[in-house]
Amino acid sequence: MQKKVFQLLATNTSGVLSRISGLFSRRGYNIESITAGVTSNPEYTRITIVTSGDDEVLEQIEKQVAKLVDIKVVKELKPDESVYRELALVKVRCSAEERPSVIAITDIFRGKIVDVATDSLIIEITGDVEKIDKFLELLEGHEILELARTGMAGLSRGIETVTI
Amino acid sequence: MIGAEAIIKCLESEDVKYVFGYPGVAICPFYNSILESDIKTILVRTEQSAAHAASGLARLTGKPGVCAVTSGPGATNIITGIATAYADSIPMVIITGQVKTDLIGSDVFQEADITGAVESFVKYSYLVKKAEDLPRIFKEAFYIAGSGRKGPVLIDIPIDVQNAQIKSFKYPESVNLRTYKPTVKGNASQIKKVIGKVRTANRPIMCIGGGVQLGDANAEVLKFAEDHNIPMVSTMMGIGTIPTDHPLYFGMVGNNGKPYANKAMNEADVIMMVGARVADRAISQPDLITKDKVLIHIDVDPAEIGKNAVSSIPLVGDCKAIFEDLNKEEFESDTSKWIKALDSYKKDLKIKRNPNKDYVDPESFIQTLTEALEDDAVYIADVGQNQIFSCAYAKIKKGKFLTSGGMGTMGYSIPAALGAKLADPKRQVVCVCGDGSFQMSMCELATFRQHGVLAKIIVFNNTYLGMVREYQHYSYKDNYSMVSLDGSPNLEKLVSAYDFDYLRLENAKGLKKTIEKFLADKNSALLEVMIDPLDLVK
C-alpha cells in the first residue's frame, strides 16, 4: 500500500463531488481526504484527493477518475514536486495558568490563536499532515475539545500548471 | 414553445423514430407534446422492458435507443434495464419525469432521486433545472451515449421544466464538452509495436469482444484476421461478429465456452484482446493469458486496459479506426501449423452430449433452428441454460446474436426482440428464452399485439430455473431450493389470449418441419420446446 495525491480539475457543476466519491465507494477505493474549491475560472473546481492502494489499484483510480465525464485533468502530485497544505482548527481546554505553555507551542509551529475564552483557546495551524500530527502530539496533556481538519490541498511546484 | 415541445424537437433532430416507455403524471407534458410528432411511441407493460427494447433497437441501428418513463416508481423500475445496458455498453438515452423543482427533496408523491440512484449504472446523468438548457443537454446526452465506450445517459426533467415557456429553440450543431474527449485514433507507435509482435508470432490469436460490433468494426477486424491468417475466438458479447462457420473462428471462450477455444487461448503466444474487458466469465484466470505471452489489449476505454489483466501492449482507441490503421501495414505471416493444431483440437475436444430421447435436445434444436433462419436474422438469447446452449450451438451467418452478457438479466430477450424488430421490420428476429425468463417478460406479448409487431418466441420448458438447478446439482448435491417452476401457466392457453399461434415440440419428432412452420407463420407465434428437466449445459 502506498499513498498518492491526485489533483483533479472538474467542471463546477452540482453533483460532481458525489460522482467522484460515489466512484471511490462503489469500487472500494480509499479516500484519506478530499478537498474541493472553485478555481480562478469559476467554471472549474480544483480537487485534491489523498488515496492509497497498491500500484494496480492506484493506476485504476487514476483511469476511472479520468473517465468521469466531468473531469478535465487528473494529475498525480508527487511529494518532491509539490506543495501540500492542510489547515486545522483546534479547540483546547485551557485555564489562564496553562495559556503560556499552549501559546508557546503554537508559536513554535507558527500557528495563530484565533479565539480566547476563560477556559478555552482556538488555535489555527496550517502545514502538511505530519506537521499537524506533530503539533497535536505536543498538545498532549491538554484536553482537545474539538478538532476540525480540512484535508489536504496541493499544487505542483514551479511554473507548470494543471489548468484548462 | 414549452420545454416538452423542445424535448420532442431535440429527439427529431437526433432522428429518433421510436420512444419506448410508460406514462405517469410527471412525464405527461412530454407524452402530450409527442402526439404532434412523427415519432412513434411504444407502450411497454413494465418500465424495465422499455430499456431492454431501446437496447434491442440500439444494437441494430448503432444509435442510442430512447425511453421515457415517469418519476418515482417509473424511474426506479427502469434501473435494471439501464444497468443491463451499461454492463454491455449499449448506447441509450433515458428520459425520466420528475416532480416539480421546488418540491424536490421533500418526499412528495412519486418522488425518487433517480440521478442519485442510477449513478453507478449510467455513463452520465442530468437533472434539468432550466428549460433553456434542454437543447444543449440533449445534444450532449446523445453524443456521450453514442461515442467512446457507449452507454446509457439519463435526463431527469421536472414537470415544471417540461411546462416552462422557452423563447426560442435552436438545436446545437456540435457539442462543446471540454472535459469529455474520447480517444478515436490509436497511437501510431503502439500500432507499430502491435504489428511487430503479430508479425513474429507463431501462435497468434484474436479474442473478439462486444466492442467490435459496437464499434462497427466487424469487416475491418475480419480483414486483418484473413489477411494474416490469425485464428479468432470470441467472448459471449462477441458472438456473431465473425460468421460462426468461418474457418478461422474457434468459438466462445470462458467457463461456459468451448474447451478448444480456451485451449487455443492458453497455447497462443500472442493474444489480441479486441473490444473485450477480460471479464471473469470469459477469462477466469487472467494470469494464464499474460504469463509467458504477449497480451495486446485494444479498447476504446483506457480504464479497461490493465483492470483485469496487465497487458504488454495497450492500445486505446476506436476499434474501426485502429483496424483501418492495422490493415494499412503489409506483412507476411505463416500460421498454418498453428491453425492445423487448432483444427485438430476442435475435432478432439468436442463436448459429447448424451441427449434424452424423450425430450428435445437443445443442441440439435438450436442447430436446426439457426440453419433454417435467414442469413441476416437476429437471434436473441435470454439468460440461463437457454443462453449457454444458444452460445454453444447457434450458427450465426451475417446476422446478429444479442444477449444480456454483462448483467445476465432474465427477461431481456422478449422486449429486446420488440426493439430489434421495430428497428428493422424486414429482418427475421427470433428470441429464445427459458420458462423462467419467459415469465419475467410475458406481459410484453400485449405490446407486440398492440403495436402490430411480429413476435417469434421460443420457450425452452424444462420446468426448472435450469441454470440455478444445475449449480445446485454440482455445488449442493442436488439439494434443490427455489428452482421448481411448478404453477407455470399453460402456454397454449396463455398465448391464445394474445392471438398468438402456438406450436409445440415434445421430442425430436417433426423438429425441422415444426421449426419451418413456426418461422413461416405470418402471425406472431410461440414455440414451446420441451427440454429434459435434468439436462445440463456441461
Identify the closest residue of chain A to B148 by CA–CA distance. A67
Asked if the Cβ–Cβ distance from A56 to B310 is below 8 Å, we say yes
Chain A contact present for B87, CB below 8 A: no
Q: Which three cell numbers stand for residue B428?
A: 427475421
Chain B contact present for A70, CB below 8 A: yes
CA distance B301 to chain A (A): 8
Asked if the Cβ–Cβ distance from B306 to A56 is below 8 Å, we say yes
Asked if the Cβ–Cβ distance from A60 to B306 is below 8 Å, we say yes
Superfamily of domain B362-530: Thiamin diphosphate (ThDP)-binding fold, Pyr/PP domains (3.40.50.970)
Spell out the long-range contacts of A12-19 with Cβ–Cβ below 8 A and sequence spacing 24 or more: A12/A38, A12/A39, A12/A42, A12/A43, A12/A44, A12/A45, A13/A70, A14/B127, A15/B115, A15/B127, A16/A45, A16/A70, A17/A47, A18/B116, A18/B119, A19/A68, A19/A70, A19/B119
CB nearest A72 (choices: B123, B178, B303): B178
Chain A contact present for B130, CB below 8 A: no
Question: Which tens digit of pLDDT belongs to each residue from A1-33?
Answer: 899 999 999 999 888 999 999 999 999 999 999
Chain B contact present for A66, CB below 8 A: yes
Chain A contact present for B300, CB below 8 A: no
Q: Which three cell numbers stand for residue A53?
A: 492502494
Interface of A with B in 90-129 (CB under 8 A): none
Q: CA B52, CA B438: separation in Å to the nearest integer?
A: 14
Asked if the Cβ–Cβ distance from B303 to A26 is below 8 Å, we say no
Fold classification of B3-163 is: Rossmann fold (3.40.50)
CA distance B387 to chain A (A): 29
Contact in structure between B104 and B111 (CB atoms under 8 Å): yes
Identify the closest residue of chain B to A70 by CA–CA distance. B179
Q: What number of other Cβ atoms are within 10 A of residue B192's Cβ?
A: 12
Chain B contact present for A63, CB below 8 A: yes
CA distance A78 to chain B (A): 22
CB nearest A69 (choices: B120, B179, B302): B179
Chain A contact present for B394, CB below 8 A: no
Chain B contact present for A62, CB below 8 A: no
Annotated domain spans of chain A: 2-76, 82-151
Fold classification of B188-348 is: Rossmann fold (3.40.50)
State the complex-level ipTM: 0.86
Chain A contact present for B310, CB below 8 A: yes
Asked if the Cβ–Cβ distance from B178 to A22 is below 8 Å, we say no
Task: Return the CATH number of the domain spanning residue range A82-151.
Answer: 3.30.70.1150
SS3 state at B277: coil
Q: What is the pTM of this model?
A: 0.94
Residue B490, C-beta contacts closer than 8 angstroms, at least 6 positions apart: none
Chain A contact present for B306, CB below 8 A: yes
- Residue of B375, B428, B364 whose CA lies nearest to B240: B375
- Residue of A33, A22, A4, A14 whose CA lies nearest to A65: A22
CB nearest B179 (choices: A60, A64, A71): A71
Chain B contact present for A41, CB below 8 A: no
Chain B contact present for A16, CB below 8 A: no
User: For cell 492502494, what's the residue?
Assistant: A53
Q: CA B206, CA B315: separation in Å to the nearest integer?
A: 14
Chain A contact present for B179, CB below 8 A: yes
Chain A contact present for B303, CB below 8 A: yes
Q: What angle do CA B429, B55, B303 make, to 5 degrees?
A: 130
- Domain A2-76 identical in fold to domain A82-151: yes
CA distance A63 to chain B (A): 5
Contacts of A10 in chain B (CB under 8 A): 179
Q: Along the 538 residues of chain B, how does pLDDT read in single tens digits?
A: 999 999 999 999 999 999 999 999 999 999 999 999 999 999 999 999 999 999 999 999 999 999 999 999 999 999 999 999 999 999 999 999 999 999 999 999 999 999 999 999 999 999 999 999 999 999 999 999 999 999 999 999 999 999 999 999 999 999 999 899 999 999 999 999 999 999 999 999 999 999 999 999 999 999 999 999 999 999 999 999 999 999 999 999 999 999 999 999 999 999 999 999 988 888 888 887 788 899 999 999 999 998 888 888 999 999 999 999 999 999 988 999 999 999 999 999 887 888 999 999 999 999 999 999 999 999 999 999 999 999 999 999 999 999 999 999 999 999 999 999 999 999 999 999 999 999 999 999 999 999 999 999 999 999 999 999 999 999 999 999 999 999 999 999 999 999 999 999 999 999 999 999 999 999 999 999 999 999 999 8
Asked if the Cβ–Cβ distance from A22 to B119 is below 8 Å, we say yes
Portions of chain B given CATH number 3.40.50.1220: 188-348
Portions of chain B given CATH number 3.40.50.970: 3-163, 362-530
Q: CA B314, CA B278: separation in Å to the nearest integer?
A: 13
Residue B358, C-beta contacts closer than 8 angstroms, at least 6 positions apart: B507, B532
At the second CATH level, the architecture of A2-76 is: 2-Layer Sandwich (3.30)
Identify the closest residue of chain B to A69 by CA–CA distance. B180
Contacts of B127 in chain A (CB under 8 A): 14-15
Chain A contact present for B351, CB below 8 A: no
% helix / strand / coil in chain B, to the nearest 5?
40, 20, 40
Contact in structure between B345 and B395 (CB atoms under 8 Å): no
Question: Which tens digit of pLDDT belongs to each residue from A117-159?
Answer: 999 999 999 999 899 999 999 998 899 999 999 999 999 999 8
Confidence check: pLDDT of A164 > 70:
no
Q: Which three cell numbers stand for residue B163?
A: 411546462
Chain A contact present for B459, CB below 8 A: no
Contacts of A70 in chain B (CB under 8 A): 179
Identify the closest residue of chain B to A55 by CA–CA distance. B306
Contact in structure between B250 and B233 (CB atoms under 8 Å): yes
Contact in structure between B68 and B106 (CB atoms under 8 Å): no
Residue B447, C-beta contacts closer than 8 angstroms, at least 6 positions apart: B42, B43, B44, B45, B49, B415, B418, B453
Question: How many residues belong to chain B?
Answer: 538
Q: What is the mean pLDDT of residues A53-66?
A: 94
From the number of C-beta atoms within 10 Å of its C-beta (0-12, 13-18, 19+), residue B223 rates as middle
Asked if the Cβ–Cβ distance from A69 to B180 is below 8 Å, we say yes
